[in-house]
Amino acid sequence: MDESNKRQRTTSSNNELHIKDLPDGLLVGISSYLAKPSVALFAIAMSPNNSQSQQTKTSKAIIFSIDWNLLDFSDIEKSLTAKLLDDDIDKILKSIDAVNNVRILKLGGCVNITGSGLDMLRSSIAIQQIDMSLVGKHEVPLIEPEPLLSDKVVFPVLHSIINGGSSLKHIEFPKKWRNAHSVRLTLFLDRYDDYLRNREHCCPKCNRVCVLTGNEEWIESEMNECYGTQNYTCSGCLKHFCDDDDCVDEDGTSYAAWCKKCEKLYCKDCTSISTCSQCRSYACNECYDMKECEGEDCGRVLCNDCCEKKTCHVCNRTRCRSCISSYQCSLGGCNKAICGDCLESTGEGGRCSACSKDFCSTECRYLVCDDEDGTEICVTCLKTAASDFRSKLQECKKENEELCQGMDDLYKKYMNVDGDGDN
């Protein structure tokens, strides 16, 4: 046996090795395969009593091997981020000197923190973006059960940041806060809007102050799904852009657009964005691909919601209203659509000229007007439905008679019996 291998085996069998006995270079190499939040947790674990204030040479080597410009907690498993508490966040931020090093902080998945762990970011002049939507990249921001992040705890930290010589460019708030429309959030949004105005961010294409080119404020104040979101700023690259009519992209569209699924604003340099030809809503293709209209040489695209409304339940084809008219059933719980071609070929569906209700079939037309109190019953619908039912009944009777005659003919042929009953 080789002598060196023999010595190694002897050492391994007689002495118990600990991970801290491994060379720092090897541990640094191992940490390079981890997501940044895991690297910080690994470095903390290598310190006495998991303390960020008593970093060892090893933990410092691990920390200093990483560029902490971006710290994104959605890079690790949701099952792990959901276990992180404010004490864990505090340790991580302190261990990497986040107040001086972190420029972009994304708290995706940290649903069980109140925000007290962010306290060390007070007066940070390095931070440029804080994403508190608590979801990962291109995820719907609605979280159930509701996250614990508290505006009462977090806003003092944000106020402290914008009070100093801050570099802050962009904030994403939790959907929970934006839905609540609290006085605390409204007051902060007003102040944050003033802060951004004073920064006078300019469009890189025309070099004009962004907010002066449009009619909107930096922060969306309308009580809709966009409330509390930031205008004129890409959520991805943090570029500011103009909203003026003479400063658009080459194809005549805006340089950036709003994605209605993840509820973020993106520029075209960060993600491709499609516009639904029906509802004109925007969606980034990382969230979902819009479906192309199946009309001949059409080329228009439709979002998922419009696809459901424009997909015929008979032929299963999806076509925009420019290619063919379609009708979506008004009956609650149905919502099926029927296209003009299938309406013509089947005689089913359409729109009542009297009550203007759409229906996908005669049955639904009858049920739409069959209210218990009778207050909304349309006589035209009931008469037409009754006439259609009568016609269908006659058709069924005729088919039944033909079927019975056919069966009778087959029976006679099988029994070799003529019409008079003779053998």
Over the stretch 16-29, which tens digit does the pLDDT of each residue have?
A: 666 766 777 888 88
Q: What is the pTM of this model?
A: 0.72
- Whether 314 is in a domain gets the answer yes
Residue 311, domain extent = 299-414
Across residues 281-310, what is the average pLDDT? 82
- Kindly state whether residues 283 and 328 are assigned to the same domain: no
Residue 284 contacts residue 314 (beta carbons within 8 Å): no
Q: Across the strands, what pairs with 230? A: 219
Across residues 228-243, what is the average pLDDT? 89
* pLDDT exceeds cutoff 90 at 398: no
- Kindly state whether residues 270 and 374 are assigned to the same domain: no
In 3-state terms, what secondary structure has residue 130?
strand
Please report, in angstroms and rounded to a whole number, the separation of the first and last CA atoms in the chain: 105
Spatial distance between the Cα atoms of 233 and 128, rounded to a whole number of angstroms: 12
> Average pLDDT, whole number, for the chain?
84
Domain-terminating residue out of 288, 310, 335: 288
Residue 411 CB-density burial (10 A; 0-12 exposed, 13-18 middle, 19+ buried): exposed
Of 151, 146, 80, 141, whose CA–CA distance to 114 is shortest? 151
What confidence category does residue 1 fall into, taking pLDDT thresholds of 50, 70 and 90? very low
In 3-state terms, what secondary structure has residue 24?
helix
Does residue 229 or residue 373 have the better pLDDT?
Answer: 229
- Kindly state whether residues 224 and 283 are assigned to the same domain: yes
* pLDDT exceeds cutoff 80 at 141: yes
- Kindly state whether residues 281 and 359 are assigned to the same domain: no
- Check residue 101 and give its pLDDT: 96
Across residues 112-124, what is the average pLDDT? 95
- Check residue 186 and give its pLDDT: 93
- Whether 283 is in a domain gets the answer yes
> How many CA within 13 A on the CB side of residue 173?
27
Q: What angle do CA 22, 23, 29 make, to 5 degrees?
A: 100
Domain count, the chain: 2
Residue 53 contacts residue 80 (beta carbons within 8 Å): no
Does residue 119 or residue 376 have the better pLDDT?
Answer: 119
Does residue 296 or residue 243 have the better pLDDT?
Answer: 296
Spatial distance between the Cα atoms of 263 and 281, rounded to a whole number of angstroms: 11
Across residues 134-160, what is the average pLDDT? 94
Amino acid code (one letter) for 391 = S
- Check residue 34 and give its pLDDT: 93
**Among the listed ranges 162-166, 246-250, 293-297, which one has the minimum average pLDDT value?**
246-250
- Check residue 321 and give its pLDDT: 87
Residue 196 contacts residue 232 (beta carbons within 8 Å): no
Does residue 30 or residue 150 have the better pLDDT?
Answer: 150
- Kindly state whether residues 321 and 410 are assigned to the same domain: yes
- Whether 70 is in a domain gets the answer no
- Whether 48 is in a domain gets the answer no
Domain-terminating residue out of 232, 264, 288: 288
Spatial distance between the Cα atoms of 402 and 407, rounded to a whole number of angstroms: 9
- Kindly state whether residues 363 and 259 are assigned to the same domain: no
Structure tokens at 325: 């008219």
* Highest mean pLDDT: which range of 110-114, 274-278, 325-329: 110-114
- Residue 287, phi then psi, degrees to nearest 5: -80, -55
pLDDT over 90, % of the chain: 38
- Check residue 280 and give its pLDDT: 75
- Kindly state whether residues 316 and 367 are assigned to the same domain: yes
- Check residue 119 and give its pLDDT: 96
- Kindly state whether residues 309 and 282 are assigned to the same domain: no
Task: Collect all residues with Cβ–Cβ distance below 8 Å to 25 and sequence separation of at least 6.
Answer: none
- Whether 84 is in a domain gets the answer no
- Kindly state whether residues 279 and 377 are assigned to the same domain: no
* pLDDT exceeds cutoff 60 at 417: no
* Highest mean pLDDT: which range of 86-100, 212-226, 329-343: 86-100
- Helix pair angle (36-45, 57-64), 10° resolution: 170
- Kindly state whether residues 327 and 410 are assigned to the same domain: yes
In 3-state terms, what secondary structure has residue 241?
coil
- Kindly state whether residues 303 and 410 are assigned to the same domain: yes
Domain-terminating residue out of 268, 288, 308: 288
Across residues 363-369, what is the average pLDDT? 77
* pLDDT exceeds cutoff 80 at 330: yes
- Kindly state whether residues 312 and 406 are assigned to the same domain: yes
Residue 164 contacts residue 158 (beta carbons within 8 Å): no
Task: Collect all residues with Cβ–Cβ distance below 8 Å to 270 and sequence separation of at least 6.
Answer: 234, 235, 236, 237
